[in-house]
Amino acid sequence: MKRTVFAYPYVVWMLIFILAPMLMIGYYAFTSEGAFTMENVVGALTNEMYMQVLLRSVWIALKATVICLLLGYPIAYLLSNMKKSTASLLSVLFIVPMWMNFLLRTYAWQVLLSPSGLLNGLLEVLGLPTQQFLYTESAIMLGTVYNFLPFMILPIYTVLSKMDRSLIEASHDLGANSVTTFLKVIFPLSIPGVISGITMVFIPAITTFAISRLLGGGKFMLYGDLIENQFITLGMDAWGSGSALSFILLVLVLISMAIMRKAERDAGEEGGGKLW
Amino acid sequence: MAKHLIDLVDIRKSYGSEDALKRINLYIRDGEFLTLLGPSGCGKTTLLRLIAGFTMPTEGKVLIDGQDVSTIPPYKRRVNTVFQKYALFPHLNVHDNVAFGLKIQKLPKDEIEARVEEMLELVNLKGYGKRWVDELSGGQQQRVAIARALVNRPQVLLLDEPLGALDLKLRKGMQIELKRMQQRLGITFVFVTHDQEEALTMSDTIVVMNEGTIQQIGTPTDIYNEPKNVFVAKFIGESNILPGTMKQDFLVNFHGRDFDCVDKGFRKNEPVDVVIRPEDIDFVSPEKGMFRGTVKSVLFMGVHYEFRVECGEVALTVHSTDYAEPGSEVGIEIVPDAIHIMHKSDAPEAAAPVETEDIPDDAADDDRIIEN
């Protein structure tokens, strides 16, 4: 028996759950009552409200990615410099929340940030005026960063902890102090991890929905919410425009992935181990 | 005599409850090629890392040029290292690897270019500047590592088993090249190896180490011909070690008879270990020999044969270019020069080799024993 047989269930899985939905998106995006049309896509691209939502999504995803990088890199760096046992214990702490459902975690933040929640309770105890935390853009940002931070930390941590320590010693040996060593050796060598971290945060962040609804109170609709809306609220009639929106997002994701790949290749050409 | 460039004073280094180094005293002269030789785990690499500054001594001081550098970080020491696995920067090409230290020093661009070029030429890698390090062979990477260290014109170059990963032929070639570079540049080399042959070939001075202590310091010929104890005798080359008694100066008794020898300064009738190198034993006809033996086995080794010869209770290893049939009887001849006498290993002198200063004839061999 050929060993390729064992790949068949996977192929079937891919056909049903990946290829078929994509084809359906394509079908609904480019047809109207069975006939080919560009109407849906052109309509989605020329709708001013939709484009505003798209820009906001890109902007929030970019900001969240930058914040994740600024927070995640130092955490990954500290973890990689710890004793192996301490580091694996701490990285479990970062991973454990991911075992819980994403919606559940976001609901938890809703409770924490609410006017009568833990955070405002703390302010009251300190005698400070309570704040409107919930339903702000900052709340969406917090939720996004919180949910996707581990995806930034882990790839960077992996690259840093696999780095040959003697390279750092060699840099010190050649006269570089710790700051110079970081800038000239450690950071350049960790770029593959940074790029996959950015990819793994930016793409889910740009496609996310629910976070904006739960923590933004629907005031700040994102592209993911818009798509959800088309299908859930508007029903069958809006499948065409919903698919067109999905298709646009898909193209956007593919473009950003291509950019990341190119950035990784450029970094790879300057040496640097590849993560994938 | 050249001045001391490095002084290691009463160095102790412990990891947890384990002592990696126990009270090491050693100086290294300016411009010499010194080898730290010993089996793995003997502390030789730890000693090298102390000089480089990657670890700090638990006790004691490291002086470079008379200045205490024990707590000074590696990047402030004028010492450079060639790492065991080269540790070349994979994100930089050959030129930028070599230029790394000079760029840190913020030297003018044309000086950097000139020095990098000069160095690449010295290590026979002219024209390789644009190559990535992973495109190079092991031997070429080795040369880049050497160039990257030497381009900074260090006072001392530390080499941590740099030839370990190379095949035999390349290794031999690099041994000669390293020695040539060292002589040409006049830089002090401290070389770590577990390969006794490598140590004998290249060094001005060999420091034999075992279990965190210095066993013997001397020139390659001293170490080979006059091993101080059983460890050194066994680690450097092959040897026959026989128990004996020192009758008086220049006369030793072993294997049931007296032999003339060239050693003195032992107590009357002191039990000693007698070292005879296999190549120093000659075969003669049975009746002419000092004693007789029976050839038990023969191995052809290329240049010579290796014989196991049974002489009563003792078995000797003999290297000879003369052939003798297994089972045949041979006469054994040992000239006084070939006999080397050591204090017994279980005697206090040998147990604490750092205190060998009370042995007068050894003290004459190398003045740095006195420093111990």
pLDDT (0 to 100) of residue B166: 85
For residue B175, the distance in angstroms to the closest alpha carbon of chain A comes to 22
Helix, strand or coil, per DSSP, at residue B314: strand
How far apart, in whole angstroms, are the C-alpha atoms of residue A77 and residue A65? 17
Nearest by CB to residue B89, choosing from A167, A172, A180, is A167
For residue A199, the distance in angstroms to the closest alpha carbon of chain B comes to 22
Residues in chain B closer than 8 A to A180 (CB atoms): 104
Nearest by CB to residue A189, choosing from B80, B91, B105, is B91
Task: Give the nearest chain B residue to A175 (CA atoms).
Answer: B75
In a domain, A155, yes or no: yes
Domain assignments of chain B as residue spans, ordered by start: 4-225, 238-346
Q: What is the pLDDT of residues B103-134, one digit of tens each?
A: 999 999 999 999 999 999 999 999 999 999 99
Inspect the interface and report whether the beta carbons of B92 and A271 lie closer than 8 Å: yes
Checking DSSP bridges between strand B205-210 and strand B188-193, what pairing results, if any? unpaired
**Residue A31: both structure tokens together:** 């047809």
Work out the average pLDDT over B305-317: 91
pLDDT at B362 over 80: no
Helix, strand or coil, per DSSP, at residue A134: coil
Inspect the interface and report whether the beta carbons of B74 and A172 lie closer than 8 Å: yes
Q: What is the pLDDT of residues B200-213, one digit of tens each?
A: 999 999 999 999 99
pLDDT at B352 over 60: no
How far apart, in whole angstroms, are the C-alpha atoms of residue B222 and residue B228? 9
How far apart, in whole angstroms, are the C-alpha atoms of residue A84 and residue B172? 40
Residues in chain B closer than 8 A to A192 (CB atoms): none
Say if B100 is an interface residue toward chain A (CB within 8 Å). Answer: yes
- Cα within 13 Å of Cα(A109), Cβ side: 28
Q: What is the pLDDT of residues A27-74, one digit of tens each?
A: 999 998 888 889 889 998 999 999 999 999 999 999 999 999 999 999
pLDDT (0 to 100) of residue B371: 39
For residue B329, the distance in angstroms to the closest alpha carbon of chain A comes to 58
Residues in chain B closer than 8 A to A173 (CB atoms): 52, 54, 74-75, 79-81, 149
Q: From the CB of residue A104, how many other CB atoms can be counted at a distance below 10 Å? A: 9
Residues in chain A closer than 8 A to B91 (CB atoms): 185, 188-189, 270-272
Q: Which CATH architecture has domain B238-346?
A: Beta Barrel (2.40)
pLDDT (0 to 100) of residue B366: 47
Say if A172 is an interface residue toward chain B (CB within 8 Å). Answer: yes
pLDDT at B356 over 60: no
In a domain, A22, yes or no: no
Residues in chain B closer than 8 A to A271 (CB atoms): 89-92, 132-134
In a domain, A93, yes or no: yes
Q: What is the CATH number of the domain that holds A105?
A: 1.10.3720.10
Inspect the interface and report whether the beta carbons of B152 and A175 lie closer than 8 Å: yes
Q: What is the pLDDT of residues B142-168, one digit of tens each?
A: 999 999 999 999 999 999 999 888 888
Interface test with B, best of A174, A179, A195, A270 (most B CBs within 10 A): A174
Lowest mean pLDDT among A30-34, B9-13, B230-234: A30-34
Inspect the interface and report whether the beta carbons of A188 and B80 lie closer than 8 Å: no
In a domain, A101, yes or no: yes
In a domain, A8, yes or no: no
| Sign of the alpha-carbon torsion through B206, B208, B209, B215 | negative
Number of domains chain A is built from: 1
For residue B220, the distance in angstroms to the closest alpha carbon of chain A comes to 30
Residues in chain B closer than 8 A to A176 (CB atoms): 75, 100, 104
pLDDT (0 to 100) of residue A96: 83
Say if A266 is an interface residue toward chain B (CB within 8 Å). Answer: no
pLDDT mean across residues, chain B: 88
- What share of chain B has pLDDT > 90, as a percent? 67
Say if A183 is an interface residue toward chain B (CB within 8 Å). Answer: no
For residue B336, the distance in angstroms to the closest alpha carbon of chain A comes to 50
For residue A42, the distance in angstroms to the closest alpha carbon of chain B comes to 45
Inspect the interface and report whether the beta carbons of A176 and B104 lie closer than 8 Å: yes
Say if B97 is an interface residue toward chain A (CB within 8 Å). Answer: no
Say if A176 is an interface residue toward chain B (CB within 8 Å). Answer: yes
Nearest by CB to residue B83, choosing from A166, A185, A189, is A166
Residues in chain B closer than 8 A to A164 (CB atoms): 85, 87
Checking A103-108 for CB contacts under 8 A at 24+ apart, the result is A103/A210, A103/A214, A105/A146, A105/A147, A106/A143, A106/A147, A106/A210, A106/A211, A106/A214, A106/A215, A107/A214
A/B interface, count of CB pairs below 8 Å? 74
Say if A167 is an interface residue toward chain B (CB within 8 Å). Answer: yes
How far apart, in whole angstroms, are the C-alpha atoms of residue A224 and residue B31? 71
In a domain, A139, yes or no: yes
Work out the average pLDDT over B2-18: 90
Say if A179 is an interface residue toward chain B (CB within 8 Å). Answer: no
For residue B158, the distance in angstroms to the closest alpha carbon of chain A comes to 10
ipTM of this complex prediction, to 2 decimal places? 0.81
The residue ranges of chain A whose pLDDT is under 70 are 1-2, 268-276
How far apart, in whole angstroms, are the C-alpha atoms of residue B110 and residue B101? 15
Say if B87 is an interface residue toward chain A (CB within 8 Å). Answer: yes
pLDDT at B359 over 90: no
pLDDT at B281 over 80: yes
Residues in chain B closer than 8 A to A272 (CB atoms): 90-91
Work out the average pLDDT over B96-107: 95
User: Rounded to two decimals, what is the model's pTM?
Assistant: 0.81
**Residue B144: both structure tokens together:** 């880049």
Given a contact cutoff of 8 angstroms between Cβ atoms, the answer to whether B367 and B292 are in contact is: no
Q: What is the pLDDT of residues B174-226, one digit of tens each?
A: 999 999 999 999 999 999 999 999 999 999 999 999 999 999 999 999 999 88
At which residue do the structure tokens 């310091």 appear? B217
Residues in chain B closer than 8 A to A184 (CB atoms): 100, 104
How far apart, in whole angstroms, are the C-alpha atoms of residue B98 and residue B110? 14
Q: Tell me the residues of chain B between 168 and 227 that have a Cβ less than 8 Å away from chain A.
A: none
* Fold annotation for B4-225: Rossmann fold (3.40.50)
pLDDT (0 to 100) of residue A67: 97
- Which domain, by its residues, includes A260? 38-269
pLDDT at B228 over 60: yes
For residue A54, the distance in angstroms to the closest alpha carbon of chain B comes to 37
Q: From the CB of residue A233, how many other CB atoms can be counted at a distance below 10 Å? A: 8
Inspect the interface and report whether the beta carbons of B132 and A271 lie closer than 8 Å: yes
